[in-house]
């Protein structure tokens, strides 16, 4: 994306799950706007590679290891972002996902706990660690990545994932309600199945065609089509959007 939001130049943006997929696209998109990016991920090598790409094109980024489910690790990652980049203006929580399609009756409790921890506890811990610093920003933003699975119901997902993404949306609204007076806006982006390298490897072309056929636009999005919305939400143009869910689903679900 070309640099269209000059106000984002120099802002410090922490992106979780930035080693690949949608999170990596978001990290690159902010760097293209001149923001200083902390690429946070449990996959240190992947995050370092994204940072190398950003640096090679003249952007400023650092890779920071974190496990979003571990409070000490999250606090440490935010502390490192502050010490190396000098503050925090925007938090994007993209780390998330689930292992497999499942029903409630055949889901081991451990799998439920793991999935909810990654998506919901992880988002909570990152927001908790970031909020004191976002309050000092003057243009603080929290942008959570939820999912169409948290907006509507379908059998081709995981109950733990669907429930935790609905939880992420309600957590985002709670944050919007309570942090607005501190000049922080909180919004969520809720993607449909997206053509990331991981999804392209997992799904057959027939499967992708089937899902695409259910979308009014008859195609699935590239990850950049979510990243551009995330960057907009951080821009001054979105300064009065708060507690919104941006349904980047091509019109499949309209709410």
Ligand X SMILES: NC(=O)c1ccc[n+]([C@@H]2O[C@H](COP(=O)([O-])OP(=O)(O)OC[C@H]3O[C@@H](n4cnc5c(N)ncnc54)[C@H](O)[C@@H]3O)[C@@H](O)[C@H]2O)c1
What are the catalytic residues?
A: 161
* Contact status: 61 vs ligand X (CB under 6 A): no
d(CA 107, CA 158): 9
* Contact status: 169 vs ligand X (CB under 6 A): no
* Contact status: 65 vs ligand X (CB under 6 A): no
Instruction: Tell me the closest approach of the beta carbon of residue 191 to ligand X, in angstroms.
Output: 4
Q: Do 159 and 103 meet the contact criterion of CB atoms below 8 Å apart?
A: yes
What would the two tokens of residue 241 be? 């959007």
Residues 181-210 that bind ligand X (CB under 6 A): 191, 193-194, 196, 198-199
109-118 long-range contacts (CB < 8 A, ≥24 apart) are 111/160, 112/159, 112/160, 115/158, 115/160, 115/161, 115/164, 116/160, 116/163, 116/164, 116/167, 117/69, 118/68, 118/69, 118/164
The count of residues interacting with ligand X (CB under 6 A) is 28
Task: Out of 15, 22, 125, 233, name the contact with ligand X by CB under 6 A.
Answer: 22
Question: Between 102 and 121, how does the x/- string for binding to ligand X read (CB under 6 A)?
Answer: ----------------x---
Partners of 14 in beta bridges: 38, 91
Residues 207-236 that bind ligand X (CB under 6 A): none
Q: Which of residues 3 and 202 has its CB atom nearest to ligand X in the complex?
A: 202
Binding site for ligand X (CB under 6 A): 16-17, 19-23, 41-43, 46, 66-69, 94-97, 118, 145, 147, 191, 193-194, 196, 198-199
């Amino acid at each position: 994306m070309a640099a269209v939001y000059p106000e984002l130049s120099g802002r410090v943006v922490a992106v979780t799950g930035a080693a690949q997929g949608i999170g990596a696209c978001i990290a690159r998109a902010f760097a293209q706007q001149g923001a200083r990016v902390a690429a946070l991920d449990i996959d240190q090598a992947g995050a370092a590679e994204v940072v190398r790409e950003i640096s090679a094109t003249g952007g400023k980024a650092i890779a920071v290891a974190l496990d979003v489910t571990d409070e000490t690790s999250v606090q440490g990652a935010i502390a490192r972002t502050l010490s190396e980049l000098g503050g925090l203006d925007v938090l994007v929580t993209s780390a998330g996902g689930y292992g497999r399609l499942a029903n409630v009756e055949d889901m081991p409790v451990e799998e439920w706990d793991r999935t909810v921890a990654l998506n919901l506890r992880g988002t909570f811990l990152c927001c908790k660690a970031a909020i004191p610093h976002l309050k000092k920003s003057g243009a603080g933003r929290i942008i959570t990545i939820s999912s169409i699975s948290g907006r509507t119901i379908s059998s081709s997902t995981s109950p733990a994932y669907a429930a935790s993404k609905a939880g992420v949306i309600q957590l985002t609204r709670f944050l919007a309600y309570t942090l607005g007076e501190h000049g922080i806006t909180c919004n969520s982006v809720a993607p449909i199945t997206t053509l990331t390298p991981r999804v392209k490897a997992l799904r057959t072309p027939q499967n992708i065609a089937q899902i695409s056929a259910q979308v009014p636009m008859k195609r699935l999005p590239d990850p950049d089509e979510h990243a551009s919305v995330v960057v907009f939400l951080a821009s001054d143009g979105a300064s009065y959007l708060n507690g919104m869910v941006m349904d980047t689903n091509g019109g499949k679900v309209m709410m």
